[in-house]
Structure 1
Amino acid sequence: MEKVITVGCQLPHVDDERFSYSMEELASLVHTANGEVVIHLTQKRETIHPATYIGKGKVEELVHLVEQFAPDVVIFNDELSPSQNRNLTKLLNIRVIDRTQLILDIFASRARSKEGKLQVELAQLQYILPRLSGQGAELSRLGGGIGTRGPGEAKLETDRRHIRRRIDEIKAQLKVIVEHRERYRERRKKNAVFQIALVGYTNAGKSTLFNRLTNADSFEENLLFATLDPLTRKLVLPSGYTVLLTDTVGFIQDLPTTLVAAFRSTLEEVKEADFILHIVDSSNPDYIQHEQTVYSLLEELGVTTIPMATVYNKRDIVHPNFVPSPKTDSILISALNENDVQKLRQFIETAITEAMEPYDVAIPAFEGKLLAQLKTETILQIFHYNEQNGTYECKGYILRAHPLYEQLRTYQK
C-alpha cells in the first residue's frame, strides 16, 4: 500500500462538520485506491493561495512532514490548477495529485466494459492536457538567439498533438457506442417496458440491492465506486409485472466536471427512466449532504420531472440521528435482509403506479392472449371472473405508451 499525506483547506463558507466529512471521504477514496493515509494536514483560509493552494507557513510544515513520514504521494482535497501542482511538486520534491486525479485513478481501475474504459481514458486525457509541462531544464527552451526553440518545446507540442488526436479517436468510438445504446433504448421504448434507474451516492448499497432484487451478480464491495458500468436486468414484481432495473455509477461531492461530461452517455440511462429509485446510506452521518449532492447532479443532468422514491438502506446499522426526508415517498430497509427485499419489491410496485394510468375493464373469456399479457405487462391488482356475463373483470395500472393501452379502452367498464 502506498503511504499518503492528505491536505485540505477549509474556506469560510464550509462549516467544520462538512469539512471534516470531506476529509474523511478523501481518506475513503485513498483506501479504495489501495493507499494508506499516514497523516492529515488542514488549514483555515479566507481564500485558496493562488500559487500553492495552502499558505506559505503550511507549505513549510508540509515539507517537514514529507521528510518525517517519507510518503509516496501527497493528495490535496480539491482540484489543483496546473501552476499550483507544478509549484508544489517543485517545493515538496514528491508526487502531488489532487482529488480529481485520485477519482480518475479509481475509475480507471474499476472500468470493465469497453465504453467504461474509453470514458475514463477520455476524462484522464482532458484532465492531463492543460497540465502538460516541460520537466525541468531538459525540456525547456534553449537560449541562443531570438525566437530559438529548444527540442523540449517541440516534444511538448508533439505530446499535446498526440493527446488531442487520441481524444478525437475516443470521441469517435464513443459516438458509435452511444448510437448503439440509443438503438437499444428505442427498442425498449417500442416494447413499452417500464424502466427504473437506481441512483445514489457512491457506496450507498445500489449494487447489493440490484443483485438482491434481480438475482444478478454485479460487483459489490464496501468501497467507493464499486460500480462503473451500467447494468440492466429484469425485475419481476409481486403482481408478476416485469420491469427493467438499471444500476448506475455512484455520485460524489465535487464530481469532476470532466467525468460528468465523459459519463454523460451512461447517465443518459437515468434520463430515459420512467421511475427513479434514490438509494441513501442511512448509516452515514452525512446522509443529508449525500442526498443534496444527488439532487443537484440530477438537476445538472436535466432530470427533474421523472417520478422518484427514496430507499434508505443499511437499516441494521442506521445512524442514531437519522430522520427520513419528507421530499419523496420512502422506505427504510437492509439489502441483506430477505424480508426487507420483499417489502421493497412491494414498495416499488406501489410507487411506480404514480407513473402509470389506471384501468378498469371487463374482458371476454375468449381473449386468452390479452389476459395473459395483462398479467405480465401491466400491474394487475384485481382479476375476477364474472359468471353472469362470461367476462374477466380486471383492474390495475398500465404505461400510457404501451400498445395495449388503446386496446384496453375498448373494454372499459
Structure 2
Amino acid sequence: MSPATLRWMLIGSLLCVSLSGCSYFQDSVADDDTELNELDGTETDQSSSEAETRLMAGENSPIQEGLLELKVKVGDRFPLSKRVSNRLTQSDANGVSENTSQTDMMLSLVVEDVQPDGRKLLSVHYHRVKYDQDIHGKKVSYSSDRPGEVVPPEAMLYAGLAKNGFSFWIGPDNKVIEIVGFNDFLRRCLSSVPPQHVAMVQKQLDATRREDGIANFIDDSIGLLPYSNDPKHPGVSVKEGATWELDPRHSDGPIPTIVNTQCMLKELTPTSAEILLSGRISGNTNPTVIRTAEGSMKIQVKGGQCTGTCRVDRITGLPTQSRVQRYLEIGMETSDGKQIHQTKESVSEITSFLNQLQMPPVGSSTPIQQTNFRNAIGAESHRRVDQAGGARKF
C-alpha cells in the first residue's frame, strides 16, 4: 500500500461522520418485510385524521410562542431515512485529487423505556444500507438489497448494519448518555468478516464506541432542541427568532475537534417548528501526531463550519426533515516533510416517516399525506438499482 493511499484511508476513516458497522450480509431482504409492515401501522399520540383536522383548520399558521420538547412514550416507533454524502479533496505536490462517498440508510427508532427523571431508552434497527465510494476513479459499491454478493473490504464497515442494531439512553438534555448492547452489536458485525480483514474492521468499529460515533446521529435532530435544567419539565417555551447555544461537542478521537453551535427558531406553528443552526469547528492549538507503519504524520485542524436546518414535529419532538452541512480544513505534514492540504465537505440528511400529515409545500393550500415507510423503501430501492454505480458527485 502506497503512502498516498494510506493517507486517504487514514483521514477518510478518522473523519467518518455516520455510525457504521461491518460484516458480510448473506440473508434475503424479504426477511425484514414483517417488521416493515408493522412499522407501517405505527401510530403516534395523534392520529392522521386529527392532524388533518388541525391543518385544515389553519393550525399550521405561525404562532408567537410555544413549547419544544421530545414527547415520546414506550412502544412508539419512528421510521427514518438518513443519507450522508462526503467529499474529501486533497492537494499536495502531485496535484489535486478527490474522494467521494455516500451512505444511505433506512432505519427505525423504538422507544423502550421512559424514566421519571427524563431519561429515555431508544433502540435503533437498520433495515437497508447502501454505500458508494470513489477514490481516484476506483469505484466501490455495496447494497444490502443485493444479498449474496461479495462485500468489498472498503464497505465492510457498513455491511453489518442491515438487520442489526443496539440501544442507547438519552438524557433530559437530549444527548446520548449510555450505549446498551453495543458489544453484541459489534460481535454480530464481525461474525462474517473474513479472518484476514477482522483486525482492520475491528479497528474501525472501535472508533464508533466513542460518543461522537452515535452522537452525530442524534445531534442533527433531537439534539437541536432547547432544554431546561428541570428533568421533570425539560421542554422550553420559545418564540420565533429566539436563539440558544448548544453545549460544545468534543470529539476525543485521533484528531480532536470542538464544535460550537448556535440554533435559532425560524418558524413556529402548532404542528411544526423550523430550527436553523450554525457553528464553528476548531481543533487543538498544537498539531496532533499520528504514528503508522509508514511513519509519523502531523495533523493540524485549521478550522471549519457547519450550517443546517431542521423541521421538527411538535407532537413528538422528532425531525421530519433535517439537512446539515459541514466543512473542515486540515493541514498534514509527513515524516519526510511533505505538505498535504485536505478539505472535507459532508452533508447529512434525515427524513422521518411519521404516521401523520406532512406540512404542505410552500405555495400549496392542500395538505399532503406523508409517504409511508415501506413505500419509501421500495422507491429508494428502485432508485438505487437505476442509479449508475459509484458515489454521487456534489
TM-score grouping bracket, smaller chain normalisation? under 0.3
> What's the TM-score, normalizing by structure 2?
0.24
**More strand by percentage:** 2
Q: Which has the larger radius of gyration?
A: 1
> What's the TM-score, normalizing by structure 1?
0.23
